């Protein structure tokens, strides 16, 4: 298991690099799901250098979900946030530890890849595959491909990086090579695109290349049909996150005023994390999601008996503009 071995080495290389900052301190630790198998080893390392470690065990949803408030409640001196880059300033001294794989592609894969790409090409990926993204980009440049700049907008600090709610680094591409795990980012890129794109998903460990087969036009028509259906309903619940990186309370209150002037009843539902069970029994017809935008686009079918819209879809409804679908983004 080359990936796990190199990742473990990377974790402890990064921790040792900051050991002077954490020695003798109260240290809160935040890990994404894929790194939880290393949690006890990390706690053991902290104990060996005289630090007191606290493992924050709530599910971690990404760069927008830094557990700074939780760390403050246990009087931590420092928070170690693993797996993501900095996108906003937390309320406590935080060390971001974005772990990155050394694994890259073999020459055979790269030669195969170039036969699939046409037009302007964007090469992007999640933070841990930065080295593989760079390798593909350099290879395609040498082969004479027309590569887009890959400069994201908003809070993302690095070129060619994508987040679950920000795929601006893919804009302007006809073909997108997305280096990531699973379909999550591929679907996000599909949701957000403003032009017809071929999206290829890959990662250097299995070296498969899969073109995303979902029909965006069909998906957009489905989303707009939900917006039109919601327009005829009267009671709306706005789901507003208390997480610092997701909090859009002011935005929600502004849209609430507009809605109420149009005769709709709007209620503000505020919480850290939203699941279907947390809002199941509130008697509203429509939920509008001001938390992580992927709740509405990926999980709406699980909110039985309720229509779930993104904040941008609500704006489309209020403005009665459906000619261009706008992907909702926090970043």
Other CB atoms within 10 A of residue 39 CB: 15
- Residues in a beta bridge with 29: 55, 80
pLDDT value of residue 204: 96
Checking 191-198 for CB contacts under 8 A at 24+ apart, the result is 191/167, 191/216, 191/219, 191/297, 191/327, 192/167, 192/168, 192/327, 192/329, 193/167, 194/324, 197/170, 197/173, 198/116, 198/117, 198/118, 198/174
Give the list of residues 6+ apart from residue 39 with CB closer than 8 angstroms, or none.
Answer: 29, 31, 55
Residue 258 structure tokens: 């507009």
- Distance of alpha carbon 54 from alpha carbon 74, whole angstroms: 8
Q: What is the pLDDT of residues 26-68, one digit of tens each?
A: 999 999 988 999 999 999 999 999 999 999 999 888 899 999 9
Residue 63 structure tokens: 């760069």
Closest CA to 104 of 83, 125, 119, 84: 125
Q: Are the CB atoms for 327 and 293 separated by under 8 Å?
A: yes
Inter-helix orientation angle 39-48/2-17, to 10°: 30
The percentage of residues in the chain with a pLDDT greater than 70, rounded to a whole number, is: 98
Give the N- to C-terminal CA distance of the chain in Å, as an integer: 34
Q: Are strands 198-202 and 209-211 parallel, antiparallel or unpaired?
A: antiparallel
CA atoms within 13 A on the CB side of 141: 9
Burial class (CB in 10 A: 0-12, 13-18, 19+), 129: buried
- Distance of alpha carbon 271 from alpha carbon 158, whole angstroms: 30
pLDDT value of residue 188: 92
CA 117 centroid distance within chain: 26
pLDDT value of residue 190: 92
- Distance of alpha carbon 258 from alpha carbon 311, whole angstroms: 13
The whole-model pTM stands at: 0.89
Which has the higher per-residue pLDDT, 7 or 62? 62
- Distance of alpha carbon 161 from alpha carbon 169, whole angstroms: 7
Three-state DSSP class for residue 207 = coil
Mean pLDDT of the chain: 93
Q: What is the pLDDT of residues 183-214, one digit of tens each?
A: 999 999 999 987 789 999 999 999 999 999 87
Q: Which helix (H) or strand (E) holds 267?
A: strand 265-271
| Nearest-10 Cα torsion for 288, 293, 295, 300 | 60
pLDDT value of residue 331: 66
């Amino acid at each position: 298991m080359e990936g796990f071995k190199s990742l473990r080495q990377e974790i402890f290389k990064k921790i040792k690099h900051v050991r002077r900052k954490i020695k003798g301190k109260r240290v809160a630790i935040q890990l994404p799901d894929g790194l939880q198998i290393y949690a006890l080893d990390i706690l053991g390392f902290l104990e060996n250098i005289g630090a007191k470690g606290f493992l924050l065990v709530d599910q971690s949803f990404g760069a927008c979900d830094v557990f700074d408030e939780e760390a403050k409640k246990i009087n931590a001196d420092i928070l170690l946030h693993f797996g993501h880059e900095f996108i906003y300033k937390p309320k406590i001294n935080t060390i971001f530890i974005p772990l990155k794989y050394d694994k890259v592609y073999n020459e055979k894969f790269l030669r195969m890849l170039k036969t699939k790409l046409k037009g302007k090409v964007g090469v992007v990926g999640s933070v841990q595959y930065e080295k593989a993204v760079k390798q593909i980009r350099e290879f395609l440049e040498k082969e004479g491909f027309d590569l887009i700049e890959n400069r994201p907008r908003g809070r993302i600090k690095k070129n060619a990086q994508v987040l679950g709610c920000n795929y601006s680094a893919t804009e302007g591409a006809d073909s997108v090579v997305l280096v990531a795990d699973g379909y999550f980012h591929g679907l996000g890129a599909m949701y957000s695109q403003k032009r017809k794109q071929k999206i290829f998903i890959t990662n250097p460990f299995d070296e498969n290349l899969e073109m995303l087969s979902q029909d965006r036009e069909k998906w957009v028509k489905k989303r707009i049909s939900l917006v039109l259906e919601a327009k005829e309903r009267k009671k709306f619940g706005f789901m507003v996150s208390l997480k610092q990186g997701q909090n859009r309370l002011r935005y929600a209150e502004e849209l609430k005023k507009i809605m109420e002037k149009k005769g709709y009843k709007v209620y503000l539902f505020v919480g850290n994390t939203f699941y279907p069970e947390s809002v199941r029994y509130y008697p509203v017809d429509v939920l509008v999601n001001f938390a992580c935008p992927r709740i509405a686009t990926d999980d709406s079918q699980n909110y039985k008996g309720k229509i779930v819209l993104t904040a941008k879809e609500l704006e489309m409804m209020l403005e009665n503009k459906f000619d261009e679908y706008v992907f909702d983004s926090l970043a």
